[in-house]
Chain A
Amino acid sequence: MKQLAIIVGLVCFTAFGGENERMATFQQVWETIRDKHWDLTGTGVDWDKVYQTYKPKVAAADSNTELRKLLKEMLGELGQSHFGIIGSESSKALSELSTVFPGGRGVPGFELALVEDRVFIVKIDLESDAGRKGLGIGTEILEAEDKDAEWMVTRIKEAYKDNKNREMYQKQTLNELFGGSVGSKLSLKVRTDDKERDLDIKLGEPRAVPKQVFGLSMNYEYKSRVLDGNLGYISFNVFLADVGRDFQKDLSTHLKETEGLIIDLRGNPGGLAIMANNVAGRLVSETGKSLGSMTNQGGTMKFPVFPQPGNYKKPVALLIDGGSASTSEILAQGLQDLGRVRLFGTNSAGAALPSVVVDLPNGDQFQYAVADYVSTNGHHLEGIGVAPDEKTPHTLESMARGEDAALEAAKAWIKKKAGAKSESM
């Protein structure tokens, strides 16, 4: 909920859209691109001419809605999908949500996702109060704190409707709603196996380890286990230096002799970019490879892969979704280009770049990237995301079966690969 509060804080200006404000807003957006774009000349767009074209149109605009349309059109001239104007209406929806769900560090023990605009549990901690009370993958949340799911979903969708990375923020916000004080109760109405019931669940201590990175407090959660069929499974919620240590330990101990490895990057918003190189170095054996390159105004830098001693050589599946962003995307796209992994799930967030969000004079916000990432096969990810090799979203059918569609598909693929290998031996 902390993030909600920050976003609300950032957009809490009221838009009363005077003519001067609209012109100042236009000016700021145009100047930001002129001054901050990593390679404006390379776009082939005459940005001064763009200014002359749009200035009279903005002067004639008589509402913020019209201004937004013009700004989006102007940014569209760049032919790149790295920029977004976020309408100030989003703050109202987030404020309403934070009034009912004040948030806190306590966790419900499950992870939620929107499936066809309905709210379902897609991951469960069986040792949590929710897990012990029989909630599991496929349980639908019908109400929370006497607010029905539709009320929540409508506001979450409204809040991020203009956001380029809406799927990522929607998922993060949805899950943050269910946090609260540790030990407090959360009242729910749920449906499992077509049976509805009301229950209270007790919010638990987060299993994550508190960390300070770039002066920000964050929780690091890393899990690994061996699944049925001797398949390794690793998930972590953020790319910190600890990931390298934990990977190394696991790949040299209980995951070493597994038939294949599933790395779950769903909901992982990124972190230290350099850790993509680290993880790749534990999976790739060939030297001289890279995960792509990043360009900003200061130059271009590759993401080299340095194969590490004792690295993992069996099949590797990565799970991604709209919550996988930044470093997760660089790793996923980079390894996909190298042919080292197979990707399952849904399109990633398309938020691979360091970006900045600034307030605009009319109360809107402008999100712009300050660098460009290109994979070795030439994929630009911003606003597009990484496409899985096998699109396996959560569906109403998979929820009804209580299954994690992407995980099941990844397991099947690895088993097939392992089977094919043993047959050929």
Chain B
Amino acid sequence: MKVCKLLWLLLACTFASAQNADEIMDKWSKAMGVDAAAKVKTIYMKGSMTMPMGAATNETFIKEGGKVLVHNKIANMMEQTMGCDGTDCYSNDPMGVRLLGGQEKESLLMQNDPSSQLDWRKMYSKVEYKGEVNLDGRKVHHVYMETEAGMITDSYIDAQTFLMVKQRIVAETPMGTVPMEITYKEFGETEGFKYPKTMTASMMNMQIETVVESFEINVPIPDSKFDLPAGLK
């Protein structure tokens, strides 16, 4: 009888926790403009990045159907292009050109396509509410999330605005298990759709601040923009 009671309690707790997490994630999704996102067919973002070794420019093209193209350029030094053609994803950087898989592929889509995350039920296979915590003087909801490929994200969502404050991501990559922290400082809004305008990513004791300088939706982008590089086709 004691075991049954314990099992019931456990199930009840899990249920309550799942309910809470769903609720918070739905509120976050709503706060970000999930309804407006439904009308977004393409996104074009242009921004700048500041890092210890200098400044970089960034251009991101996104099209419905999982098509992404990200181009980062550190002037006179190096360039990186990452993209997905709707099926396969790749990276072309100073380490060479290669197809991405697993968590690296997930990470590319999630971190660069602000609309994709809003459909969080598709994105995450496990979501748990960890409770309300104080983060840098703000009350935030701590939500633990796991993707199909096993990428772990601890998200901290503002208890009042339901906007993302911070994410701690642990991803398995060919570089190893790389913990990364992203702090969201400012959000922009276009036609009811919110996007992170200023964010700082910390990784390996290095900080990169990205500022989105222009954000346009539903601009025409040809499918060919997302073609895989010649060596990977």
Interface residues of A (CB under 8 A from B): 211-215, 240-241, 244, 272, 274-275, 277-278, 281-282, 290, 293, 296-304, 306-309
Contact = CB atoms under 8 A, between A and B. Distances in A.
Size category of the binding interface on chain B: 20 to 34
Given A213-B76, A296-B204, A309-B231, A278 B176 contact: no
A304 B175 contact: yes
Contacts of B205: 296-299
Nearest to B206: A298
Contact of B54 (A211, A215, A306, A308): A215
Nearest to A240: B77
B9 interface: no
Determine which residue in B98, B203, B204 has the highest number of CB atoms from chain A within 10 A of its CB, and name it. B204
Contacts of B93: 274
A134 B215 CA distance: 64
A214 B176 contact: no
Contacts of B95: 274, 277-278, 281, 304, 306
B53 A214 contact: yes
B181 to A, nearest CB: 10
A278 B96 contact: yes
Contact of A293 (B53, B98, B176, B179): B176
Nearest to B232: A309
B78 interface: yes
A302 B176 CA distance: 6
B77 A272 contact: yes
Given A213-B76, A214-B53, A277 B94 contact: yes
Contacts of B206: 298
A303 B174 CA distance: 8
Given A214-B54, A274-B95, A277-B96, A301 B231 contact: no
B175 A272 contact: no
A274 B206 CA distance: 15
A219 to B, nearest CB: 13
A278 B205 CA distance: 23
Interface in B54-78: 54, 76-78
A299 B204 contact: yes
Of all A-B residue pairs in the complex, the 3 with the closest CB atoms, nearest first, are A298-B205, A304-B174, A298-B204
Contacts of A296: 204-205
Nearest to B204: A298
Interface string B172-185: 00111111000000
10 contacts: A212-B76, A277-B96, A278-B95, A298-B179, A298-B204, A298-B205, A299-B179, A301-B176, A304-B174, A306-B96
Contacts of B178: 299, 301
Q: Which of A274, A299, A302, A307 has the most CB of B within 10 A?
A: A299
Interface of B: 53-54, 76-79, 93-98, 174-179, 202-206, 231
State the main secondary structure of chain B at its contact with A.
Answer: strand
B139 to A, nearest CB: 28
B204 A272 contact: no
Nearest to A288: B174
Contacts of A302: 174-176
Contacts of A214: 53-54, 77
A300 B204 CA distance: 7
Contacts of A290: 174
A274 B78 CA distance: 10
A297 B179 CA distance: 12
Nearest to A295: B204
B54 A241 contact: no
Given A274-B93, A299-B204, A309-B231, 16 more contacts: A213-B76, A244-B94, A244-B96, A274-B78, A277-B95, A278-B96, A281-B96, A298-B179, A298-B205, A299-B178, A299-B203, A300-B176, A304-B95, A306-B98, A308-B97, A309-B97
Contacts of B179: 298-299
Contacts of A298: 179, 202-206
Contacts of A244: 94, 96
Contacts of A212: 76
Contacts of B177: 299
A108 B202 CA distance: 45
B77 to A, nearest CB: 6
A298 to B, nearest CB: 3
Nearest to A302: B176
A213 B74 CA distance: 10
B231 to A, nearest CB: 5
A272 B78 contact: yes
A53 to B, nearest CB: 30
Nearest to B93: A274
A252 B171 CA distance: 35
A309 B206 CA distance: 32
Nearest to B97: A308
Nearest to B75: A212
A297 B202 CA distance: 12
Nearest to B95: A277
A330 to B, nearest CB: 13
Contacts of B176: 293, 299-302
A244 B95 CA distance: 9
Given A272-B94, A277-B96, A306-B96, A213 B174 contact: no
Contacts of A281: 95-96
B105 to A, nearest CB: 15
A211 B96 CA distance: 22
Contacts of A211: 76
B140 to A, nearest CB: 23
A307 B97 CA distance: 9
B96 A301 contact: no
B190 to A, nearest CB: 34
